[in-house]
A and B are shown apart, each in its own frame.
Chain A
Amino acid sequence: MTGIDFSTGLGGTVAWPWPIAVYLFFAGISGGALTIALMMRFYKNQTDNTPLLKGATVAGFVGIALGMLCLVLDLTNPLFFWKILVFYNFQSVMSLGVVVLMAFIPLSALLAAYALREELNQLPKSLHFILPVVDALVRFRRPLEMLTLVLAIAVCAYTGFLISALIRFPLINTSVLPALFVASGLSAGAAVAKVLAVKFFKEDLHSAEMNVLHKVEWPVMAVEALFIFMLFSSLIFGGSAGSNALMAFSGGVWTNLFWFGVVGLGFALPLLFSFGLGKKFAHSSQAFYMTSASVVCGMMCLRMFLLYAGQIYSI
């Protein structure tokens, strides 16, 4: 060892435990689902409330709400959460994220209310005061949808920027992380939106919209794999710090989670279900649900792996 250094610290090994990974997961699903559905809406010039839009807005709002719950519960005292809303430091990625989320959360709720306008009629009478508000805001639907699209992509990317700012962790301190989180958010968000659309909003498994999504998913997945490979290669060429962090992929505690969870569930199983077991199975509803479930689990594993392995292989 050259130079003076110490290896003990005053804090624990992992300052950000699993609730943060779950938060990153929910935020990614929320942003990804809304991005996919809104892009579809603009691309196809849709004006009606499609099942996909309904599913995506539900995933969008419920996802971010659950994510916020994780985030608040992870504070050392959840009652302190108001301080983040009152005090700002615009050098901080987290503060910028708060600004984005402050607009994104109400907008995702409003978009869900737009999309589920008919379903809202069945609310209990005491909640009907929402309806005139939603109807009054319907004039701004298009611009608000566009704004939400931008914010949804920002939320996905933000979760990446949030942890890539941590300079002592070579595995996550890379510029490809936000891009990776956008890509994986899109694939998992699309999977959740599709499942909700089919299961609860009576979308046909082989509708034109679903077919577009099925076609879009593979390139997104390929890009995601490319980003993971880029992250990997940045460690190979990243000197001693990088090569130490490479152990995360080969024999460390979290290695199995990466190879079985991220690669197996996230990439191999969906490929197997769609291409390996014959056309008949690939078009079945079992294949549809199993593929979606494995993509979503793979994304959760990716967040978990990056957060934990990232914080363990520090320099």
Chain B
Amino acid sequence: MNNSTLNRRGFIKSVGVGGAALTVVGCSSNNDTADTDKPHYVMVFDQTKCVGCGRCKDACNKVNFLPEGMARLDLERQTDRVEGEVCPKCGKTECNCERKYVRVSCQQCQNAPCVMVCPTGAAHRDEETGIVTMNPDTCAGCKYCITACPYNVRQINPDTKVADNCDFCLHTNLAKGELPGCVQECKFGALKFGNANDKSSYVSKLLAAKNTERVKEHFGTDPSLYYIAITKEEI
């Protein structure tokens, strides 16, 4: 009798300690706080300047040698207008004011679900720059990163059969010390790129001065792609 109560107590104790240990281990894995010694590369997309010309997309394809029919970024054309009603911008019922574009590409999450779920560690954060990128040699093509991405901006490269994402031209232009292809090629200044941890950088000042938004922040992914949105003029 005595023996069995002791055992039970011991059992409860070990379960408690084990559970607490597991909780600590489980919670700590995600808590790597921003290290300000390291760069934090961000991109700012200014919707007020983008005309949807698509030069960024072409430049990206060229710089990163993407196969035909594949793109790491896209521009989604959107509108504020309701069909049949007057345009909130110009007051006419027929106009072309409604055109506005949103950059669709990897959001470079600080807390990236793709990196978390990748079974082989192929989707990883580059040690030096913190940029989310791919190691094509270890990617098994399981597509877990693609389903896990809350933004649906990952895809399989039809040539290499492994997953792919926008990594700010980490292995191409950035490696040469140049700006990402899209930023270089944008004639309208709609794309800005730089290190947000460097207070003197242009993007730091831009983020401090402008109202910016990020996509689907409620997922807790902490994206590094910032958007300056066209705000409605009425009201």
Q: Which residues on A are within 8 Å of B, measured CB to CB? A: 3-11, 15-16, 74-77, 80-81, 83-84, 86-89, 91-95, 98, 165-168, 311, 314-315
B162 partner, pick from A4, A76, A98, beta carbons under 8 A: A76
Interface flag for B219 (CB, 8 Å)? yes
Closest 10 CB pairs of A and B: A9-B152, A76-B141, A87-B120, A94-B119, A83-B140, A168-B150, A15-B146, A95-B119, A76-B161, A89-B121
Contacts of A76 in B (CB 8 A): 141, 143, 156, 161-162
B142 partner, pick from A10, A84, A88, A165, beta carbons under 8 A: A84
Is the CB–CB distance between B120 and A10 below 8 Å? no
Is the CB–CB distance between B141 and A168 below 8 Å? no
Contacts of B149 in A (CB 8 A): 11, 168
Nearest A residue to B220 via CB reads A167
Per-residue A-contact encoding for B154-186, CB less than 8 Å = 1, 0 else:
111000011000000000000000000000000
A15-B143, A81-B140 given; 10 more Cβ-contact pairs under 8 Å: A4-B214, A5-B216, A9-B153, A10-B73, A77-B161, A83-B138, A89-B121, A92-B118, A98-B119, A165-B117
Given the known A-B contacts A89-B120, A94-B117, are A75 and B142 also in contact in the complex, defined by CB atoms under 8 Å? yes
Q: How far is the CA of A87 from the CA of B141 in the complex (A)?
A: 13
Give min CB distance, A305 to chain B, whole Å: 16
Contacts of A94 in B (CB 8 A): 117, 119, 142, 144
Contacts of B59 in A (CB 8 A): none
Q: How far is the CA of A131 from the CA of B120 in the complex (A)?
A: 36
Given the known A-B contacts A4-B47, A165-B148, are A11 and B161 also in contact in the complex, defined by CB atoms under 8 Å? no
Contacts of B215 in A (CB 8 A): 3-6
B71 partner, pick from A7, A10, A75, A98, beta carbons under 8 A: A10
Interface Cβ pair total, 8 Å cutoff? 123
Give min CB distance, B85 to chain A, whole Å: 15
B219 partner, pick from A8, A83, A93, A167, beta carbons under 8 A: A167
Query: Which residues, 113 to 156 on B, are CB-close (under 8 Å) to A?
Result: 113, 116-122, 138-144, 146-156
Given the known A-B contacts A15-B146, A92-B119, are A75 and B216 also in contact in the complex, defined by CB atoms under 8 Å? no
Q: How far is the CA of A5 from the CA of B146 in the complex (A)?
A: 18
A11 partner, pick from B73, B118, B153, beta carbons under 8 A: B153
Contacts of B147 in A (CB 8 A): 15-16, 166, 311
Give min CB distance, A108 to chain B, whole Å: 21
Q: List 9 A-B contacts (CB under 8 A).
A: A6-B76, A6-B103, A6-B215, A11-B154, A11-B155, A15-B143, A15-B146, A89-B121, A165-B148
Nearest B residue to A165 via CB reads B117
